Amino acid sequence: MSDQAETPKFPTAATLNSADTFTGSAWVSLLVDPKNPTDCSLGYVTFEPGARNNWHSHPAGQLLIATAGAGYYQEKGQPAQLLRAGEAVSIGPGVVHWHGATKTSLFAHYAINPNVSQGIADWGTPVTDEEYQTAHA
Ligand code: MN
C-alpha cells in the first residue's frame, strides 16, 4: 500500500434529507448501523448554502465535527457559533439547537450520537428566516 498522501475521502453516497426536519437541501449518510455494539450512530451530513435542520434535541446528546465549508451551531437562547473544518462541538442531552450552513457556503460535518438506544432526535419547528438571519449578525 502506498504511503503517499491522498485527498481525504469523505462519504459521497447520501440520501436527501427529509423536508419535515430540514430547510433547504442536505444530504445524510449513515456510516454505521445504529444497532452496532457501541450504541453510537455515526453520520455525515452535507448542507447546501442556506440549508439547516429544524430546532431539535438529542436524548443522549451529540458530537459534531465540521469537515468542510462554514456553518452554524446555535443553542436556544444563545448566539450562533460559526464552525469551520476541524472544529467540533458537544451538545448535552435535551439541549435544543440547530445546525446548518451559512448563507454563502456549503457545510459538512460528522455527527456522532451516543446511547442511541435512548433515542436519536426529538424534532421541533423549522428555524425561521428571521432566526437564521440573526445567526449571521
Ligand atoms: Mn443536532
pLDDT tens-place string over residues 15-29: 778 789 999 999 999
Domain count, the chain: 1
3 in any annotated domain? no
Q: Which residues surround ligand 1, an ion (CB under 5 A)?
A: 62
4 in any annotated domain? no
Please give the distance, rounded to the nearest whole angstrom, from the Cα atom of residue 97 to the centre of ligand 1. Answer: 6
Please give the distance, rounded to the nearest whole angstrom, from the Cα atom of residue 38 to the centre of ligand 1. Answer: 19
Please give the distance, rounded to the nearest whole angstrom, from the Cα atom of residue 9 to the centre of ligand 1. Answer: 23
Q: What is the mean pLDDT of the chain?
A: 92
Domain containing 83: what range?
28-135
Please give the distance, rounded to the nearest whole angstrom, from the Cα atom of residue 57 to the centre of ligand 1. Answer: 6
Q: What percent of the chain has pLDDT over 70?
A: 91
Q: What is the CATH number of the domain that holds 72?
A: 2.60.120.10
User: Which sign does the torsion angle of CA 124, 15, 48, 115 carry?
Assistant: positive
Read off the C-alpha cell for 70: 462554514
Comparing CA positions, the residue from 8, 51, 7 lying closest to residue 28 is: 51
21 in any annotated domain? no
Comparing CA positions, the residue from 70, 102, 104 lying closest to residue 85 is: 70
CA distance 102 to 134: 11
So what's the pLDDT on residue 87? 98
75 in any annotated domain? yes
Neighbouring CB atoms inside 10 A of 1's CB total 3
Please give the distance, rounded to the nearest whole angstrom, from the Cα atom of residue 1 to the centre of ligand 1. Answer: 37
93 in any annotated domain? yes
Cβ within 8 Å of residue 14, ≥6 positions away = 27, 28, 29, 44, 46
Give the three-state DSSP class for 55.
coil
How large is the average pLDDT for residues 106-123?
A: 96
Model confidence at 5, pLDDT cuts 50, 70, 90, reads: low
Please give the distance, rounded to the nearest whole angstrom, from the Cα atom of residue 105 to the centre of ligand 1. Answer: 19
CA distance 21 to 24: 10
92 in any annotated domain? yes
So what's the pLDDT on residue 1? 54
Give the three-state DSSP class for 64.
strand
Q: Which residue has the cell 449571521?
A: 136
CA distance 136 to 81: 10
Please give the distance, rounded to the nearest whole angstrom, from the Cα atom of residue 32 to the centre of ligand 1. Answer: 17
105 in any annotated domain? yes
Please give the distance, rounded to the nearest whole angstrom, from the Cα atom of residue 7 to the centre of ligand 1. Answer: 28
124 in any annotated domain? yes
Q: Per residue in 25-82, pLDDT tens?
A: 999 999 998 889 999 999 999 999 999 999 999 999 999 999 999 999 999 999 999 9
